[in-house]
Structure formats: C-alpha cells, structure tokens
Amino acid sequence: MTASVLAAFGVLENSRFFRPITKAEWVCSYVPATPLPFKPDFSRRFVSIELQNYYTVFTITPFKTVKIRYKIFNKPNISVIFVESVKKRHKSKGELCVKISHRTDRRHVRRIPAALITVSVYILFLVIFQVCNPKKMVPGTQVRDNLEDAVVISVLNEQLNKSMIVPGYATGTQHLRIQILSGSMKGKTVEITNVLSTLENVHAKAGDHIVVSINRKLKNQPITVFNYQRAPVILVFVGLFFVLLWFLGGKKGPVSAIGVLLTAVTVFFFLLPMLYNGYSALWASVAAASVIVVVTMLLVGGWSTKTAVAILGSVLGTVVSGALCALLSSLLHISGVNIMEAEDLIVIGQTTGMHVDGLLFASVLIASLGAVMDISMTIASSIAELSAESRKSIRALFLSGLHIGQDMMGTMSSTLILAFVGNSMGLLMMIYSFNVPFMQFINTNQVGMELIQGLTGSFSVILSVPLVAYLAAKLYTLHPSAEKKKRIAASPSKPHEFT
C-alpha cells in the first residue's frame, strides 16, 4: 500500500445508491504519538476525523462526496469510502488505522444509464408508432416538379429596373447559364431565363448557388429558378448552435443537445402523423407534450425527485393550458378552421380523416410547452436546494417556491406575448395602416387566434408556479433528498475522549 497517498474519504448515507467493489481493508497512517482530541461516536452513522502528517492526509467528512483518483485500490474511477471502524495501534509510533469499504457512487454515473435508457425506449416507441401508422397518400398532394441544386456559371444578359416599391430590389429578366449539381441532370449545363418580380426576387450572380425547379411532365422540361440555396447556411448555424450548447452547457450540454433533437423528432414524426391520420387533436397534443416533457426532463435531470416534480408540474401545466384553450375557443367560437391554411387542409382531411378544427388547440399546447417546462424545472431545482440546506415545513417551502416563481411570471408571460405578436407583425401593420376600428380589429379571426395563444400560454405559466411549488414542497418534505439526510445525520454531538 503506497505511503505517499493523498486521499479524501467521504461518508455517504444512502447505501442503496452504491455497490461494493472490494472487501473491507485497513488503511494506516503514522501520526505523532499524541492522543487524539476525541473518540469517534460510532453510534451515529457518520464520522468526522481529520489527521495529517508528512505522508497521508485522511479527511472523513459527511458533508460531500469528493471525486478521488488514488492508488490504494488501483481504481481510477469516481469513488467514495465508507468508514466502518477506527482503531489506534502501536501507541509509541502513533499509528492510526481506518477500516474502509471501497464502493462506487452510482449517483455520479446514473445519468448516463438514464440517458441511454430514455433514448432507447424513445426510439423503440417511435419505430413502433411509425410502423403502425403509415402515411396515407392523398391524390394531388405530390410535388410534380423536382427541385435540384445548381450553380450560376455566368449571367449572359439582364434587363433590370430598380423597384419603385421595395428599395434595393430589381425587377425584370436575367438570362443565365447554370450547371445542375444534383438529380438525373447532374453535370449538365443549360441556359434559363430568370424572371424577377417584387414578390419573387432571386437576383442571381455568377457563382451563386440556387435551387431550380424542373418540370418533368412537360416535353422540353422547362427549368425555372425556385429560390436561393439556403440549406448550407442554415445547417452551419444549426450545427454552431449545437456545438455551443454542447461545450458551454457543461455536463448537461450533450444531453440538452440530444433533448432538442428528440423534441424536433417528436413533433415531425409523432405529433404531425397523429394529426394527419385523424387522431384527436386533444389526445395527440397531450401525448406529444408528455413525451417531450418526460424525455427532456429525464435527459437533463436524470432519475431524481427533482425530475419527477418537474415532469408532474410540466404535464399539469400543459393540461391547464389545454383546458384554457378549449374554454376560450368555445367562448370565442374560434377553431383550427379559421387558420389561413384551413381550405387546403380540409380537402386533405376528407381523405385522411384529419380534424382541422383541432389544429389551433395543438399549436397552443406546443407553443406554451417550452415556457412551462422552463419554469417547472427552475422551481423544482430551487426548492430542492432549499430543502437540502435547511429544515423547512411544507408551507415554508411552498412560499419560497412561490416567491421564486413570482420573479419569473412577468418575464415568461411577456416572452410568450411578444413571440405571438412577432408572428403577427404583418397582420398588425395591415390593421394599423388601414385604421381598422377597434370593434372590427378585436373581432377578426386572426386577432382572436393570436389572443388565444398568448393568453393561454401566459395563464399556463402563471398557474404552473403554485402547482409546481406545492408538488415540490410536498415531495421534498415526505421524501427528503440524500443530501438533506446527510446533513441531519451529521448534526453536531458531544465527542467522547479517546482512551
């Protein structure tokens, strides 16, 4: 056993979180031949000793777990030490021996299995759902034109005039020589005419990457400019977002990035197919929101009381949001039929069974879900820390959570309102420009839908605060965290003299 070991030994309470690795062993340290200041009281579960000499430092503390790399057991992993007994041998040499059990702290590593289990179950669930719910193809909805990537080789000639409507825009025609970079015509060089208008304005230059539309139904396969090629720039910035989230998010950065990806996958491969295939918008939205909440919270928080509180709070907040949306939709006589895309979706719904009237409900639930999850996790984490630091009653913890939530209500509600206002900026400018009377303004369908979305989201955030605060206070009082149990067990007691 190496004499020149610098080790820290932590005593933790919940043995169910640990599994033994080796048998109990004795570790000795030579100290000056002086009596110890006290005798450890082994009637308590925790011991607090600190002895130091030229060779070894033993620190046995009940207050925290220390990540250790040491050579005694040749185990370079995260470990803790359980102290079983202490005795003194060779009084002339002053040798102190500590009997210890080496175990691995599961709480430091359980987040990885939790993340793996969560992702595995999620993927299995999604695969089964996709197999059981194939997409029904509706005649007339297939895209007839093929969109291909192309690069502008040169601008042969152009006849352009400055737009008198939009500054910086030009209208007219361009004669372009382009090279197709994808599809069956890959590598071919063709000449096309690009028409620029105020609404469709792709001012191409040599070297620009564009997307072209090839109509294969016609004999001569006319090629027109569809738009700029934006995919590379978008992918670069999305990748940059995940890189920053990964590295600046610390230990939770990777799982947070995975959570964002799985949230997007849930919307596109679970919620949208359910709505498309005629499932109830109510249950489809609640199911998708629940999946997003459970997966995200488990990835970020692992298996813990805090995560359970955040999940329950988020789900209850989502249910509250849905109930308010249903109530306001009924009172205002507004549904998904009033959205701008309703006409085409109604035609599609005649084949697939899609309930267009429930799309407004689904959009409100998903839009407010992020804010509800944010406030739920924040309050759950805050009350967890307060519960571990002090002995507070349910009422005290509830009031503390309520005060924390009060600081967030205004900002989160403003965030939701501003998000919906930002989405309707064009409509608001139209109303402002034409001096629409208030009676007409307040009774338009679009304004009614935006008000439903903004008010429902804000109500759900406000009502989630007391719900989560009460749940957290109740659960943390009935089931104290391991950290709180350690602090209670480690409360000071009168030491005995060492004999």
Which residue would you say has higher pLDDT here, 412 or 25?
412
Mean pLDDT value of segment 386-412: 78
Q: Regarding predicted confidence, which is higher, 138 or 214?
A: 214
Instruction: Report the mean per-residue pLDDT for the chain.
Output: 71
pLDDT recorded at residue 67: 29
pLDDT band at 104 (very low <50, low <70, confident <90, very high): very low
pLDDT above 60 for 373:
yes
Residues 6+ apart with CB under 8 A from 462: 409, 413
Helix (H) or strand (E) segment spanning residue 101: strand 95-105
Q: Answer yes or no: is pLDDT of 98 > 50.
A: no
pLDDT band, residue 141 (cuts 50/70/90): low
Would you say residue 76 has pLDDT above 80?
Answer: no
DSSP 32-89: -S---S-B--TTSS---EEEE-SS-EEEEESS-------SSS---S-EEEEEEEEEEE
What pLDDT is attached to residue 151? Answer: 92
pLDDT for the residue 240: 92
What pLDDT is attached to residue 234? Answer: 93
Give yes or no for a contact between 12 and 80, defined as CB atoms under 8 angstroms apart.
yes
pLDDT above 50 (res 10): no
Q: What is the pLDDT of residue 233?
A: 92
- 246-295 pLDDT per residue, tens: 888 777 788 888 888 889 889 988 898 888 888 888 888 888 988 898 88
204 within 8 A of 225, measured Cβ to Cβ: yes
What's the CA gap between 190 and 179, in Å, rounded? 6
pLDDT in tens, 215-247: 777 666 688 888 899 999 999 999 999 888 888
Higher pLDDT, 73 or 418: 418
Looking at residue 235, its pLDDT comes to 93
Predicted local distance difference test score (pLDDT) of residue 153: 92
Closest CA to 18 of 487, 494, 482, 489: 482
- Strands of 314-377, DSSP E: none
**pLDDT surpasses 50 at 49:** no
pLDDT greater than 60 at residue 354:
yes
Task: Choose among 375, 359, 403: nearest CA to 460.
Answer: 375
Domain boundaries of the chain, sorted by first residue: 9-108, 146-232, 248-489
Identify whether the C-beta of residue 63 lies closer than 8 Å to the C-beta of residue 53: no
Pairing of strands 9-10, 57-61: parallel
**Is residue 431's pLDDT more than 80?**
yes
Rounded to whole angstroms, what are the CA distances from 493 to 43, 57, 62, 269, 420? 11, 24, 14, 59, 59
pLDDT mean over 83-97: 41
Are the beta carbons of 401 and 469 closer than 8 angstroms? yes
Mean pLDDT of 111-115: 59
The confidence score (pLDDT) of residue 31 equals 36
User: What tens digit of pLDDT does each residue of 163-219 get?
Assistant: 777 777 888 888 999 999 988 888 889 888 888 888 888 888 888 899 998 877 766
For the sheet with 49-52, list strands across it: 9-10, 57-61, 49-52
103-112, 151-160, 413-422, 429-438: which is most confident: 151-160
pLDDT on residue 102: 40
Q: Alpha-carbon torsion 388, 389, 395, 400, what sign? A: negative
Q: What angle do CA 65, 66, 69 make, to 5 degrees?
A: 140
pLDDT of 137 above 90: no
Quote the pLDDT of residue 480: 58
Q: What is the sign of the dihedral through the CA atoms of 420, 421, 424 and 427?
A: positive
Neighbours of 15 (CB within 10 A): 12
Q: Is the pLDDT of residue 340 over 80?
A: no
Cβ within 8 Å of residue 288, ≥6 positions away? 266, 267, 270, 271, 274, 366
Q: Which of 261, 317, 254 is nearest to 289 (CA)?
A: 317
Whether pLDDT at 25 is above 60? no
Higher per-residue confidence, 394 vs 315: 315
DSSP code at position 199 = S
**pLDDT above 50: residue 420:** yes
Output the pLDDT for position 324.
87
Could you tell me which CATH class the domain 146-232 is placed in?
mainly beta
Q: What is the pLDDT of residue 197?
A: 85
Query: Rounded to an integer, what distance in angstroms lies between the CA atom of residue 289 and that of residue 309?
Result: 16
Radius of gyration, alpha carbons of the chain: 32
pLDDT at residue 491 tops 50:
no
SS3 (DSSP) at 493: coil
What is the arithmetic mean of pLDDT over 5-26? Answer: 32
Residue 140 is predicted with a pLDDT of 56
Over residues 450-464, the mean pLDDT reads 84
With bands split at pLDDT 50, 70 and 90, how would you rate the model's confidence at 145? low
With the C-alpha atoms ordered 216, 272, 260, 258, is the resulting torsion angle positive or negative? negative
pLDDT at 318: 85
Higher pLDDT, 71 or 417: 417
Query: Of 3-7, 84-88, 356-360, where does mean pLDDT reach its minimum?
Result: 3-7
Using a pLDDT cut of 70, give the percent of the chain over it: 69
